[in-house]
Amino acid sequence: MDRRTLLDRAPDDPVRLLDAEGELVDDYEPTLSDGKLLSLYGDMRLGRRFDERMVSLQRQGRIGTYSPMAGQEGAQFGSMYALSDDDWVFYQYREHAAPLTRGFPPEYLHYWAGYEEGNAVLADANIFPLNICIGDHIPHATGMAWASKLKGNDHEAFVCHFGDGATSEGDFHEGLNFAGVFDTPTVFMCHNNGWAISIPREDQTKSATLAQKADAYGFEGVQVDGMDPLAVYEVTRVALEKARDTESGDPRPTMIEALEYRYGAHTTADDPDAYRDEAEVEAWKQKDPIDRLEAYLRREDILDDATDERIGEAIEDAIAEAVATLDSLDPDPDKMFADVFAEPTPRIEAQREYLRELRERHGDDALIRDE
């Protein structure tokens, strides 16, 4: 599908190419090959199983607070499949599809266990370090995109993921305004899952949509059905083409608002039952992105039971291999405090010395128990 069909539309007219029953709509024919479609399905299943395993690890005390992504695989993996290897990814903390589709380094689990090496390894896959502060990475994405443009790197584009809550932050407005003024090769991907922790989307802004906020900054905004991985892929693909636009020499940013839902808690420290109705969750599960793509693939004879079983086995092996690396981690107090400040403060030094002495007396297990 061309740019006009996908982007030149009202911001409140979401792009949908695969309905909840797995049927193609609007005479759409997938541009991904059968092999890529199967790979996309497999990665989405990997994401769902990874999520389940990470929540379990957190409950066991083996990793820290974790942000589940179940329900958002369509937008996450669909958008990642549109990127080239040279493109950069910026994400908040829930978009686990980024490292999972770019090699699934086991060190990514280490980050959630408190080891900064999990952030450092992401740079090798053109992924900006994971960001916990809401929206802080948006100006960074714009800045890197502008620097790339000034260097003449017209083969690079920059995709910035964030949640609907980030649109209430000043960094969102500053980053998008700068992108519009300087025509940076940036795609802003807003994951609108309806809730900024416990604040519903309608209590954040009186704008009819989040996508239309791009109008204020002089570039296009488009809504897409975030539970439809094919629609997200196609919209992201054409947005990236516009970001590069080497023919006219006029790259332009785009904002994509993906309408989706998180089935679980905001993080493992959250209780969504305190502010959400279970009926709402169940209604969204009827639109599940994995089920939707599976129904299509089976109807087209791209997926069968034997293939599905092989995919499941490969997923279990990959996750087990990554989880096993947690047992070999060395809780070294020096590493723990190395990147907190350029120069350690007296309090940091005191904490480090305390843990050094604890480890020397009782070994590594003492550090875990003391925590």
**Catalytic positions:** 262, 266, 275
Distance CA 191, CA 166 (A): 10
Contacts of 339 (CB under 8 A, 6+ apart): 116
DSSP 196: E
Beta bridge partners of 221: 255
DSSP 164: G
Distance CA 90, CA 111 (A): 16
Residue 143, judged by CB atoms within 10 A of its CB (0-12, 13-18, 19+), counts as middle
Distance CA 193, CA 190 (A): 9
- Structure tokens, 210: 């989040």
Within the chain, strands assigned E span 88-90, 158-163, 186-192, 195-196, 199-200, 220-225, 254-259
- Structure tokens, 307: 């293939």
- Report which of 2, 25, 80, 34 is spatially closest to residue 300, judged by C-alpha positions: 34
What number of other Cβ atoms are within 10 A of residue 277's Cβ? Answer: 10
Distance CA 72, CA 243 (A): 24
* DSSP SS3 for 163: strand
Distance CA 156, CA 235 (A): 18
Distance CA 103, CA 208 (A): 38
Query: Residue 25 carries which side chain, given as an amino acid letter?
Result: V
Q: Which helix (H) or strand (E) holds 182?
A: helix 170-182
Task: Return the residue matching tokens 């960001």.
Answer: 131
Rg (CA), the chain: 21
* DSSP SS3 for 157: coil
